[in-house]
């Protein structure tokens, strides 16, 4: 499969052209992704994305097993006809497929994100094929995985700039996971012909260079907080809009664990949240009501950098109302549909309870209270024991401070640079 392709410069050029074209398609889809998602969701339902990802995993696994069977039939002798090697390779492929399936299931509430597995899984495969022309050894797996992760970083950086798209560290992790897992399947399952099982010094140097670039990109993201963007963006031609971009690269906040609600995150510490609600209730409510039917305009005009309190309150209300719509639309009577309806009601109920408790005065002064009969029906459908974590502001970093995170990044960069220099000296 791989060995046959590695025959001359024409094959290498084609391999890189395919990898480049696939990467270009990922970037070209950025401004179109939302329209595509809406069209697929309307035609086939939201979960079509998840099933498509699982279907791609199954198809890839079947193709890989076919490759193993053919390679074994072509090379096996009577002496090793019953060798367990093919079974071990197949077991690795099944393990990789199971990992992809489990990861897809974990994204079932937002199955669109599972398409990252398809995008970056295919990219990773194409990159390894191209890299192996010059590095026909095990280092090609590491280079391809790291290069795929680096492309994933660039993908998210572009999304940060494109209106209506959002930067996400979680998406970077998903992209890197997909690129890496495919390489595990290649190295341990398919084991392409012509690729040595050991790494070369040249391959290690290339891998370390890409790892250094990847870590430098992540460090740049970690430094690119809204406060810093507000300083540099207005000074660069055409980028002033980034100073109030609703999408942020890195932002630090606080985690709340509220009884009978669940977990949510905020840019404001508890005392700040209480103070804002006590002193700005009337003004905040007036601002909310002014954008009652213009949520998109609100996100542009009231970004979190400018007014985190009102912005977060409005986004919580939007999530509540969106899940109320889903809840009303779920009218089926099967046990699965009833369970799904109750889960939708739980999201709406928890978000409503959250704004009533933590934004109490501002919410009470606004016109966003639910009609009593709707609130009562939602409460009846709520699943009291269901754990809940709001996705509002979910990308806020709450587990570590900025100084600690930057120290870890700096130490890792030093370690990678030292390793790269040692490879050069030994070469």
Task: Report the candidate in 362, 389, 381 with the shortest Cα–Cα distance to residue 261.
Answer: 389
**Contact assessment for residue 130 and residue 19, using Cβ atoms and an 8 Å cutoff:** yes
Give the pLDDT score at 82.
43
Q: How confident is the model at residue 1 (pLDDT cuts 50, 70, 90)?
A: very low
Mean pLDDT of the chain: 89
Q: Is residue 96 scored above 60 in pLDDT? A: yes
- What integer is the mean pLDDT of 217-245? 90
C-alpha span between 41 and 39 (Å, rounded): 5
Per-residue pLDDT tens digits for 307-345 = 999 999 999 999 999 999 999 999 888 999 999 999 999
Give the pLDDT score at 305.
84
Per-residue pLDDT tens digits for 295-307 = 999 998 998 888 9
Helix (H) or strand (E) holding 265: strand 262-266
Give the pLDDT score at 221.
93
Q: How confident is the model at residue 109 (pLDDT cuts 50, 70, 90)?
A: confident
**Contact assessment for residue 57 and residue 104, using Cβ atoms and an 8 Å cutoff:** yes
- What integer is the mean pLDDT of 366-381? 96
Range scoring the smallest mean pLDDT among 68-77, 277-286, 322-331, 383-392: 68-77
Task: Report the candidate in 386, 312, 317 with the shortest Cα–Cα distance to residue 346.
Answer: 386
Per-residue pLDDT tens digits for 167-196 = 988 899 999 999 999 999 999 999 998 999
Q: How far is CA 262 from CA 120, 313, 324, in A?
A: 33, 16, 18
- What integer is the mean pLDDT of 31-39? 80
- SS3 state of residue 264: strand
- What integer is the mean pLDDT of 42-62? 83
Q: Is residue 74 scored above 60 in pLDDT? A: no
Of residues 35 and 295, more confidently modeled: 295
Per-residue pLDDT tens digits for 243-268 = 888 788 889 999 999 999 999 999 99
- 273-277-282 Cα angle (round to 5): 155
Per-residue pLDDT tens digits for 203-216 = 999 999 999 999 99
Dihedral class, residue 193 (left if φ above 0, else alpha if ψ from -120 to 50, else beta): beta
- What integer is the mean pLDDT of 225-254? 89
For the chain, which residues make up each domain, given as ranges?
Answer: 3-199, 204-235+401-427, 254-381
Give the pLDDT score at 76.
47
Give the pLDDT score at 183.
97
Give the pLDDT score at 81.
40
Q: Is residue 43 scored above 90 in pLDDT? A: no
- What integer is the mean pLDDT of 54-62? 88
Half-sphere exposure of 362 (CA within 13 A, CB side): 28
SS3 content of the chain, % helix, strand, coil (to 5): 70, 5, 25
- How large a percentage of the chain has pLDDT more than 90? 62
Distance of CA 66 to the CA centre of its chain: 31
Q: What are phi and psi of 389, to 5 degrees?
A: -135, 115
- Extract the tokens encoding 168: 């996400």
């Amino acid at each position: 499969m791989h060995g046959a392709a590695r025959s001359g410069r024409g094959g290498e050029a084609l391999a890189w052209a395919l990898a480049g074209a696939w990467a270009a398609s990922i970037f070209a889809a950025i401004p179109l992704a939302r329209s595509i998602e809406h069209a697929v969701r309307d035609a086939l339902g939201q979960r079509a994305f998840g099933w498509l990802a699982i279907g791609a995993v199954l198809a890839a696994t079947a193709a890989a097993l076919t490759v193993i069977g053919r390679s074994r039939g072509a090379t096996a002798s009577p002496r090793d006809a019953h060798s367990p090697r093919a079974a071990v390779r197949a077991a690795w492929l099944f393990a990789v497929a199971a990992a992809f399936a489990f990861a897809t299931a974990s994204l079932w509430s937002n199955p669109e994100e599972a398409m990252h597995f398809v995008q970056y899984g295919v990219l990773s495969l194409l990159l390894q094929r191209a890299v192996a022309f010059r590095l026909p050894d095990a280092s090609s797996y590491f280079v391809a995985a790291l290069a795929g992760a680096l492309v994933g970083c660039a993908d998210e950086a572009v999304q940060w700039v494109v209106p209506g798209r959002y930067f996400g560290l979680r998406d970077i992790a998903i992209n890197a996971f997909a690129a890496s897992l495919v390489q595990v399947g290649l190295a341990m399952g398919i084991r392409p012909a012509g690729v040595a099982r050991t790494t070369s010094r040249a391959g290690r140097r290339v891998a370390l260079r890409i790892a250094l670039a990847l870590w430098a990109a992540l460090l740049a993201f970690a430094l690119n907080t809204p406060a810093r963007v507000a300083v540099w963006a207005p000074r660069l031609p055409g980028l002033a809009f980034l100073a109030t971009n609703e999408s942020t690269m890195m932002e630090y906040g606080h985690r709340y664990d509220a009884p009978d609600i669940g977990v949510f995150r905020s840019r404001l510490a508890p005392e700040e949240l209480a103070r804002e609600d006590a002193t700005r209730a009337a003004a905040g409510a007036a601002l909310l009501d002014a954008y009652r039917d213009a949520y998109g305009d609100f996100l542009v005009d009231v970004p979190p950098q400018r007014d985190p309190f009102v912005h977060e309150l409005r986004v919580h209300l939007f999530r509540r109302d969106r899940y109320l719509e889903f809840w009303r639309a779920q009218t089926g009577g099967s046990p699965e549909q009833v369970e799904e309806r109750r889960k939708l009601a739980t999201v709406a109920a928890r978000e409503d309870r959250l704004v009533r408790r933590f934004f109490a005065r501002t919410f009470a002064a606004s016109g966003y209270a639910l009609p009593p009969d709707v609130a009562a029906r939602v409460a009846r459908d709520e699943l009291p024991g269901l754990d809940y974590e709001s996705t509002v502001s979910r990308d806020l970093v709450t587990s570590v401070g900025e100084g600690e995170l930057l120290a870890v990044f700096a130490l890792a960069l030093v370690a990678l640079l030292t390793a790269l220099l040692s490879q050069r000296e030994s070469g």
